[in-house]
A = this chain, B = another copy of it.
Amino acid sequence: MARPLNAGVAGPMTGQMEGLMMVTPLTLGELIIPRAEELFGHRAVIARVGDGVHRTTWAETCVRARRLAAALARLGVGPGDRVGTFAWNTHRHLEAYLAVPAMGAVLHTLNIRLFPEQVAYVVDHADDSVVLCDRSLLPLWRAVEPRLSRPRQVVVLPDLAADDSAAAQSSDLDYEELVAAAEPLAAWPQVDENAAAAMCYTSGTTGNPKGVVYSHRSTVLHSLAVGLADAQGLSSRDTVCAIVPMFHANSWGLPHASALVGASLVLPGRDLSPAAICQLIESERCTLAAGVPTIWSGVLDHWRRAKPDLSSLRFAVCGGSAVTESLSAAFEREIGVPILHAWGMTETSPIGSVSHLPVEPGAEADEATRRSYAMSQGRAVPGVVLRVVDENGAPVPRDGVTMGEIRVRGPWIAREYYRDGAPPDKFADGWLRTGDVATIDALGYIRIVDRTKDLVKSGGEWISSVELEGHLMAHPDVLEAAVIAVPDPKWDERPLACVVPRPEARGRLTAEALLEHLRPRVARWWLPDAIVFIDEVPKTSVGKFDKKVLRARYAPGETAAPLPVSEARG
């Protein structure tokens, strides 16, 4: 009488009974915007625009979003059409964050830090129909326009006084005029939960930018995740300062999550100076703020000088790249605000993992252990399935030492890029291969050590270029250091370090001194075979080390002869 259970076999199960719960679609128009408008309409939305601070509410923001949707429809924006934004974090950008997806169109946030050629590529690739552009960014946008395959309708968001708009053109439309002229949409349309809500292109260091297309479902689920106690724990009691740009992975999901939970939202506009950020946090009594490590090291420096009151912060959320131990420790000990370290990428919406201290026995035993967890990228948040795997796709031992690539799966992880197919090296077997190399410990905490393409694969073992760079940059005479792999006939690859000495150490700093500095810090076989001194590490448009330029210069492929160590060392 036993019936077979189709476990472990491919394909979905049949014969299940149907659940009888509502099939409420997970969309912005159903679950996010009405909450902000009806339940938290009185909560504040605060944006620094130009030299002033614009104060409004979620209720007003939502009414203006309904006006904006009607105005965009009159401009010809229909279901599925892409609407580009070229803007700082302001209340108008927030209105577009709500209106464009909820009307069934697609919000395409353009990265203002890309080169004009790249912006033009992205606008053409996504086929944006309209672009909402901050007045302060018009000069940048005007450099993009000649490179576009066809002209786009520009709607100007007046973040500067009108007389500053030297780059304005007569064909530009004014955002405030459009919004004022439109009747608010009475009700949001019924959008499919799997329909596109937003898109964001990666600023990868290789090849053209790739488009990630978020769905309503992924956006709602990700917003719930941001509200989890195991993630940022965002709630109606928070006042959130979203420093991370709204053109970077939806400002880490904070605008939509704030609308869902009814948090007050503070948007810093163009001025990302430490003094301006501290002033906003202090005056608005922000409980949570989110930015990259360089933002927080600037804030730390400013705090040491000016001692602004940052005591309202529950956490300083930090992601984008790894936080240093000194920054993490100083923030907690001096300012009294813990840094909450998170990991993710454009392809992961972006929250993948968050590092809260574990409660497991021993984990909080001593300061060094605490610090090690605070510096880790934490555990996968609920909803994200995460593995650290070897080159064959098998999970590595959870010993905190063995390195492997992070693969993730889940309802807010990209399954393919827009109009790019699904390259098997990136999306395979239902997993996203992140390209991030990490260790994972017994409690499931990951620690990123490198990018796969930057690893040095030497004699079957992996050497972390990031760790070597960290040690080199800790030397007092070193300004910057980038480590790349060079082909080696015996070991396949060996590390080569490109070092920028501090100005005062030029000509004095020697390769031998750096090797001496590294010897007590890394395994002997990790020591670079060559150290070259350069004037500057080449950077991408968004400021990341551009190692492909260095590789082209020093590691010209396996067909070429390896660079003699003596020459490189000179």
Chain A interfacial positions (CB closer than 8 Å to B): 1-9, 11-24, 26, 30-31, 34-35, 38-40, 42-43, 69-70, 73-80, 82, 103-104, 106, 185-192, 194-197, 212-218, 221, 223-225, 227-230, 233-237, 260-262, 349, 356, 358-360, 379-380, 382-383, 385, 409-418, 430, 432, 442-444
Contact = CB atoms under 8 A, between A and B. Distances in A.
B104 A189 contact: no
A464 to B, nearest CB: 24
B26 A411 contact: yes
A187 B31 contact: no
Residue among A22, A31, A217 with most chain B CB within 10 A: A22
A356 B23 contact: no
Given A74-B2, A228-B228, A261 B191 contact: no
A224 B21 contact: no
23 contacts: A1-B75, A6-B79, A8-B186, A12-B192, A14-B79, A15-B79, A16-B192, A16-B196, A18-B194, A18-B195, A18-B213, A20-B417, A21-B218, A22-B413, A30-B385, A42-B442, A224-B224, A224-B225, A227-B228, A230-B235, A236-B358, A236-B359, A260-B382
Residue among A39, A82, A190, A229 with most chain B CB within 10 A: A229
Given A5-B185, A13-B189, A16-B104, 11 more contacts: A5-B73, A7-B69, A15-B104, A18-B213, A19-B194, A22-B414, A24-B385, A31-B382, A34-B385, A42-B443, A261-B382
A443 B236 CA distance: 11
B379 A236 contact: yes
A380 B234 CA distance: 16
Nearest to A412: B21
Contact of A195 (B19, B69, B79): B19
B20 A196 contact: yes
B78 A17 contact: no
A189 B6 contact: yes
B20 A418 contact: yes
A15 B235 contact: no
B21 A213 contact: yes
A186 B7 contact: yes
Contacts of A225: 224
Contacts of A6: 79, 189-190
A262 B217 CA distance: 24
Contact of A230 (B1, B2, B227): B227
Contact of A415 (B20, B38, B261, B356): B20
A398 to B, nearest CB: 9
A2 B73 contact: yes
Contact of A261 (B189, B230, B416): B230
Given A15-B78, A356-B236, A413 B196 contact: no
Contacts of A442: 42
Q: Which 5 A-B pairs have the closest CB atoms?
A: A19-B215, A16-B195, A229-B235, A15-B79, A17-B80
Residue among A9, A38, A223, A430 with most chain B CB within 10 A: A38
Contact of A356 (B221, B230, B237, B379): B237
A476 B22 CA distance: 46
A129 to B, nearest CB: 10
Contact of A22 (B22, B229, B380, B411): B411
Nearest to A442: B42
A17 B235 contact: no
A1 B153 CA distance: 13
A75 B2 contact: yes
Contacts of A19: 194-197, 213-218
Contact of A224 (B14, B16, B40, B228): B228
Residue among A39, A191, A234 with most chain B CB within 10 A: A39
